[in-house]
């Protein structure tokens, strides 16, 4: 900001803006996970686990939805972006920016989970490989910002169905 001397109110408002700018929010779903996080985790893990390149894995794993609802502890208290701040679903961190240490606020949701479906081309990657890739990605690559410190998870593949070829 252009203010040289910030009041406490200015600092709190900047914190709110910092948090609001980092939350993926939709009025329909609330807090959501962009599908790109899932695809990025799979793509970044595929070569380490199964020696499948990023281009090949991206052409074989497709999301079925663009926004994936994030489930988390206390979500029933969050009806808008402002409720995230009011219910303290954030943390602060001191980050280096050049030679200066700056306090940043980031959204943080405890007890989180999400569920989605992926379409997988089994001619390129089989289901056993995708399970290993996703397990590795969730454990060591993570989802979202500040990964893998935050954003690590466990993957549970609950059902596999075959896609029918449509001509």
Q: Any idea what DSSP says for residue 166?
A: -
Please give the pLDDT value at position 147.
Answer: 65
Please give the pLDDT value at position 25.
Answer: 96
- List, as one string, the DSSP characters of 134-148: HHHIIIII-SSTTTT
| Res. 148: pLDDT tops 70 | no
Weakest mean pLDDT among 97-101, 111-115, 138-142, 154-158: 154-158
Q: Which of 92, 111, 112 is nearest to 102 (CA)?
A: 92
Q: Tell me what the mean pLDDT of segment 55-63 comes to.
A: 92
Q: 90: Cβ–Cβ under 8 A, 6 or more apart, which residues?
A: 19, 84, 105, 106, 107, 108
Reported confidence tier of residue 136, pLDDT bands at 50, 70, 90: very high
Please give the pLDDT value at position 159.
Answer: 60
| Res. 20: pLDDT tops 70 | yes
CA 49 to CA 33: how far, in whole Å? 24
């Amino acid at each position: 900001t252009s203010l040289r001397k910030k009041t406490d109110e200015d600092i709190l408002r900047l914190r709110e803006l910092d948090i609001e700018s980092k939350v993926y929010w939709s009025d329909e779903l609330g807090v959501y996970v962009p599908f790109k996080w899932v695809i990025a985790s799979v793509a970044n893990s595929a070569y380490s686990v199964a020696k499948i390149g990023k281009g090949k894995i991206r052409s074989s794993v497709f999301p079925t939805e663009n926004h994936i609802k994030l489930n988390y502890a206390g979500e029933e208290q969050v009806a808008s972006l402002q409720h995230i701040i009011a219910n303290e679903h954030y943390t602060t961190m001191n980050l280096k920016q050049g030679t200066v240490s700056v306090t940043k606020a980031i959204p943080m949701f405890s007890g989180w989970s999400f569920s989605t479906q992926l379409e997988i081309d089994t001619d390129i990657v089989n289901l056993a490989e995708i399970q290993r890739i996703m397990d590795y990605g969730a454990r060591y690559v993570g989802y979202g910002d500040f990964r893998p410190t935050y954003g690590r998870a466990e993957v549970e593949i609950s059902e596999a169905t075959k896609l029918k070829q449509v001509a």
